[in-house]
Amino acid sequence: MAQIGAPVASRVETAGLSFVEWGAVFAGAVLAAAITFVLLTFGAAIGLSATSPWPNSGLSAKVIASLAVFWAMAQQIGAFMIGGYVAGRMRSRWHEPTQHEVEFRDGLHGGLVWAVGVIMSAILLAATAGVLARTGAEVAGAAANAAPRSASDQMDLILDALVRPITTAQAAAPTAGGQAQAQAAARARAAAPSTADEGRAEMSRILVSSIASGSLSNENRAYLVQLVSQRAGISPQEAEKRVSDAFNSARVAADKTRRAAVLTGFVTAAGLVISLASAWWAALKGGQHRDNSVPARFGFGDRRRRMVPMT
């Protein structure tokens, strides 16, 4: 005879029946994804409000980057905590033999919320990256095979400085043969603009491949010096200096991009691991509140109760 007041299981354990309730898992994952979207949008708005194009106004780039990393991790952890709690609370209590088994199954549902959320994010990220790759193929095509895409803009700036024509002051008092070279370069650029674009792409490929190999060969250096001297209308000595500076600048930019990618990878991995632990723990709390019939009022119910006057 069952004792009066004993807890009654909501379902009967059946052999071979799955104990994973995917409805609760997907509910928690969808809620976590929605919260992540809202918090990321809110964080982006805060970040834009903290920046300013005016000097001595707004936060510095390092402070904004640090805040962005903190916000990305905090919103991810918080969203998965809420999703894990919902999944643990919505899971039906079975005839688990021990309390440890109850906690394991509750926590596992929180882990599944995390797994489904990560898979959903990966699919969305892959789809977005595919669209960006198709629309930006012409811009980053020159360096796509050897350098990160984020370095393409920096490479364009380096090439601009590399082939920039001489200034007006230099043209007024040119060295021997400098004026003739400048005029010839100007005529060449005006006559063949497509050839100039092909030359920039070729110089970009040479710099990128040289950075990948670790050094700029004498043949590539001499060829770049010749191209820069013709395009910019400067002496071979000045062109050689520009080539050396451009190679060093490109190497520094590639190293910064590499370190940024490594830091991003470590931060992302750490955030995912902490999010998994948070979702597991929150699902345990949700299961405890479910078994103890703790109302999910988030503090509002207790506040209303305290406001009721005593009679």
Lookup: tokens for 268: 């992302």
Residue 233 belongs to some domain of the structure = yes
> Does 238 lie in the same domain as 150?
yes
Q: Helical H runs in the chain?
A: 22-50, 61-90, 99-135, 137-140, 152-162, 168-172, 178-191, 193-213, 218-232, 236-291, 300-307
Whether 71 and 101 share a structural domain: yes
Task: Tell whether 169 and 126 lie within a shared domain.
Answer: no
Q: What percent of the chain has pLDDT over 70?
A: 68
Largest CA distance in the chain: 112
CB 111 within 8 A of CB 284: no
Is residue 157 included in any domain, yes or no? yes
Based on the domain organization, do 58 and 116 belong to the same domain?
A: yes
Q: Which domain holds residue 149?
A: 142-257
| pLDDT of 14 higher than 80 | no
**Phi, then psi, of 230 in degrees rounded to 5:** -75, -40
Question: Is 57 a member of any domain?
Answer: yes
Residues 242 and 277 reside in one and the same domain = no
Q: At 59, phi and psi to the nearest 5? A: -80, 160
What is the mean pLDDT of the segment spanning 237-244?
Answer: 88
Structural domain count of the chain: 2
102 pLDDT more than 90: no
Same domain, 271 and 124: yes
Residues 79 and 151 in one domain: no
User: Looking at the predicted structure, is the pLDDT value of residue 156 above 60?
Assistant: yes
pLDDT in tens, 132-147: 344 333 333 333 343 4
How much is the pTM? 0.62
Are 29 and 123 contained in the same domain? yes
Whether residue 84 sits in one domain with residue 32: yes
Please report which residue ranges of 51-177 form alpha helices under DSSP H. 61-90, 99-135, 137-140, 152-162, 168-172
Q: What is the pLDDT of residue 186?
A: 53
**Predicted confidence (pLDDT) at residue 184 exceeds the cutoff of 60:** no
128, amino acid identity: T
**Chosen domain end from 257, 278, 306:** 257
